[in-house]
Amino acid sequence: MNNSVFFGALTVAGLAAGAAAAGTLDDVKARDKLNCGVSTGLVGFSAPNANGEWEGFDIAVCRAVAAAVLGDPSKVEYVPTTGKTRFTALASGEVDVLARNTTWTFSRDVDLKFEFIGVNYYDGQGFMIPKELGVSSAKELDGATVCIQTGTTTELNLADFFRANNISYEPVPIETNAEARQQYLAGACDVYTTDASGLAATRATFDDPSNHVILPEIISKEPLGPLVRHGDNEWGDVVRWTLNALVAAEELGITSANMSEKAAGTDNPEINRLLGSEGNLGEMLGLDADWAQKALAAGGNYGEIFAKTIGEDTPVGLARGLNAQWTDGGLLYAPPFR
Amino acid sequence: MSTLTDPPKESFRLSMLIYDTRYRSATIQVVAMIGFMILIGSIISNTVHNLTDLGKEPSFSFLSEPAGYDINQRLLDYDNQDSHMRASLIGLLNTLVVAVLGCITATILGVIIGVLRLSSNWLVARLMTIYVEMFRNVPVLLWIVFIMAILIETLPAPRAFRGDTPEATMSVFDSVAVTNRGVYVPEPLFHNSLGNIHVFGDSALRFDVSLDLMAFLIVLGGSLYASMRIRKWADALQESTGRRPTIWHIRAAVVIVPSALLMLVLGFHLGYPELKGFNFSGGTHLRNSLIALWLALSLYTAAFIAEIVRSGILAISKGQTEAAAALGLRPKRIMNLVVLPQALRVIIPPLISNYLNLTKNSSLAIAVGYMDLTGTLMGITMNQTGRELETVLLGMLVYLTISLLISSAMNWYNNRVKLVER
């Protein structure tokens, strides 16, 4: 008798769970707040400033999406996630979008059922080593002790690289960037490996940055981008085209300074369509006609955000490199707004 | 004259389940049980259903996929092309290593400290009190991180050993290298090794059995048995004649000579660590992470064990000690022969839970990058495969199994030493 009740309960609970599934876009609008998953602190990308406000390159994506959907870039609830907890947070619905320098890989996209909506930073894994060791290539690292952040794609790339070159190494797994810095500086590991942008950001905090070199080998492709849950295509479209709007705006020469002027109407139809004075792109997304204007007003176009958070004039000091517009020899290429 | 008549036989009615006190408690229990089952069932079905909605049907097939990551401390052979299952096994062994080492050192330290805390020497007793209070009242995670930081920051890096006038030199006749990456000690090697037996072919559970070690253990076991027989013989002789023969040199020879002969035949020698490239190579590498975790867990748990030992000793009536002293036993013998054997009965049950705590606390290993079960199965594997529910459930199951095994072993021991009441 107990068994039949048990299975009856299973059926009832199953039916109840199936009924609950609404669009994320509606959820966000109803809540009037965007839940955005970010890192626990990586200077330049996402870290709280002295006033406790989150700022950085990934934060700008959250702010732009909140502005496009809710009309106010400050209507964001930032949820700090670690390398371990980030996917659970997104899959469970705790966050609506995850903007946390996450590498777009096949298995994350397909097997973990996420939707990468684009790339906001093209990165690659590099090695940093003290100059005094006299190493000029990663292939000379046979037998070296390597500090590595655990739970990231870098761990797998590292194993692949050393296997492909038939050399050995001793991995020292660590949890956070700060710990890696401590171990590396104390000489407990010879080499520190992570994304090249992370190495640059870490080296910038050393007392003697010039005594450390980043080896020329970039051993992996790390396209970092925001992601959403698989299966909610409308919400995916909103985030994807908000990011595209930031990139396209830079290409089209729309900055936060001249935006209101251009919004009045220009002789370039694509600018008009993007900013909403022509066509009904906003309506198609389920947003206001001036959604892109609001997104751009949150922090400027892609180039402005880059320069403000991680560009060459900031302590992180990254060059545009691969992240320049395609017209400047980079990889940024927003599809047409049509 | 009175006659006894049976009370009228009532047929069973449904309402009796509630109103008849004979059935009521059973009814309540059945209803509560059904409610409990419904609750559990709905939780399970809800989880499964929601995971299926997310396109993540619970599945353990990821365990046979290649892990893709490397593990620094491995007791069995492993490379990054082995399966997640194999990686978890390596992690499990690392957990067991630190748990066993920790339990042994914590017990030794704990007993010594507990006894010394009762010392009549004021200074020694106070020092032990300070030790206990200091270690017991700071979270063990802080001790782990603290010891790790000391190891990393104060010891020399391997590159300090290089050059003609190195900043650091090896200790103990140039055989042990103490660096901030760990301690390199000499390893035993054999010229005429007997080789290994490979078990379980290519499966995830495969391992090698060293025949050298087996041979050594067999010989040692045999000689210990022989030594025990000699002692029994001497005991018997003493019983019957009252005269005890001097046997210690025979017993020592019986234990040492066969083992030494075996070592000689196998061509035993030590492999010393030497600086090669970035690191020391050769010898056995005890990594910082293992040392930090082992030390911290031992010192922390020893503080608790010391208190248990103290309470066990205090539980033995003072009359016992006085009686033993009146018989002319010296204090050390009173402790070993009279007090401690009786105190064990009080000590063992709480000791079990401290062993369990130590084993479970070893999951803090990730703080220093020690690749235990939490670091492999519930760390990297979970992250690379995205199977949170499955990996955590598996991990919980494994820890539960380990804990139950430890407590059943200790309960068996407890049953052996406990007071047999007549």
Residue B388 contacts A where some CB pair is shorter than 8 Å: yes
pLDDT at B107: 95
Per-residue pLDDT of chain A (338 residues; tens, 9 = 90+): 444 444 444 444 444 333 334 689 999 999 999 999 998 877 788 888 888 899 899 999 999 999 999 999 999 999 998 877 888 899 888 999 999 888 898 888 988 889 999 999 999 999 999 998 889 898 999 989 999 988 778 888 999 999 999 999 999 988 777 788 888 998 889 999 998 888 888 887 888 888 998 888 899 998 999 999 988 999 999 999 999 999 999 999 999 889 888 888 888 999 999 998 888 899 999 999 999 999 999 989 999 999 998 888 887 778 888 899 999 999 999 999 98
pLDDT at B2: 60
What are the tens digits of pLDDT across the range A17-41?
A: 333 346 899 999 999 999 999 988 7
All residues of chain A having their beta carbon less than 8 Å from the beta carbon of residue B55 are 113, 230-231
pLDDT at B210: 85
All residues of chain B having their beta carbon less than 8 Å from the beta carbon of residue A228 are none
All residues of chain A having their beta carbon less than 8 Å from the beta carbon of residue B49 are 13-14, 17-18
- Got the DSSP string for B236-263? HHHHHHS-PPP-HHHHHHHHHHHHHHHH
Query: Which chain A residue's Cα is nearest to B370?
Result: A173
Residue B65 contacts A where some CB pair is shorter than 8 Å: no
| ipTM confidence score | 0.76
pLDDT at A22: 62
State how far the Cα of B182 lies from the Cα of A4, in Å rounded to an integer.
59
pLDDT at A18: 37
pLDDT at A54: 92
SS3 call for A212: strand
Which of B69, B274, B286 would best serve as a mutation to test chain A binding (most A beta carbons within 10 A)?
A: B69
pLDDT at B420: 67
Q: Under an 8 A CB cutoff, do A10 and B33 touch? A: no
**Half-sphere exposure for B161 (CA within 13 Å, toward CB):** 24
Q: Return the CATH superfamily for domain A24-120+225-328.
A: Periplasmic binding protein-like II (3.40.190.10)
pLDDT at B304: 96
Q: Return the CATH superfamily for domain A124-221.
A: Periplasmic binding protein-like II (3.40.190.10)
Q: Under an 8 A CB cutoff, do A13 and B42 touch? A: yes
Chain B, residues 260-299, CB within 8 A of chain A, namely 276-279, 281, 288-289
Query: Which chain B residue's Cα is nearest to A141?
Result: B278
Q: How far is B279 from chain A (nearest CA, A)?
A: 7
All residues of chain B having their beta carbon less than 8 Å from the beta carbon of residue A229 are 54
Same fold, A24-120+225-328 and A124-221: yes
Question: Residue B45: which of A13, A133, A189 has the nearest Cβ?
Answer: A13
pLDDT at B1: 55
Where do the structural domains in chain A lie, given as residue ranges?
24-120+225-328, 124-221
SS3 call for A121: strand
Is the whole model's pTM more than 0.90, yes or no? no
All residues of chain A having their beta carbon less than 8 Å from the beta carbon of residue B53 are 17-18, 21
Residue B180 contacts A where some CB pair is shorter than 8 Å: yes
SS3 call for A103: strand
Beta-bridge partner residues of B176: B171
Which of B278, B289, B377 would best serve as a mutation to test chain A binding (most A beta carbons within 10 A)?
A: B278
- Structural domains in chain B, sorted by start: 84-147+288-417 (1.10.3720.10)
pLDDT at A64: 95
pLDDT at A74: 92
Instruction: For chain B, list residues with pLDDT below 50.
Output: none
What are the tens digits of pLDDT across the range A312-323?
A: 888 777 888 889
What are the tens digits of pLDDT across the range A84-140?
A: 788 889 988 899 999 988 889 888 898 888 999 999 999 999 999 999 888 989 899
Alpha helices in A253-321 (DSSP H): 259-263, 269-275, 281-285, 291-299, 302-309
Question: Residue A113: which of B55, B72, B371 has the nearest Cβ?
Answer: B55
pLDDT at A239: 94
Q: How far is A112 from chain B (nearest CA, A)?
A: 6
| B98 Cβ neighbours under 8 A, 6+ residues apart | B290, B293, B294, B297, B362, B365, B370, B372
State how far the Cα of B77 lies from the Cα of A258, in Å rounded to an integer.
64
pLDDT at A12: 42
- Got the DSSP string for B61-72? GGGGSB-----S
Q: Under an 8 A CB cutoff, do A188 and B366 touch? A: no
Q: Under an 8 A CB cutoff, do A173 and B369 touch? A: yes
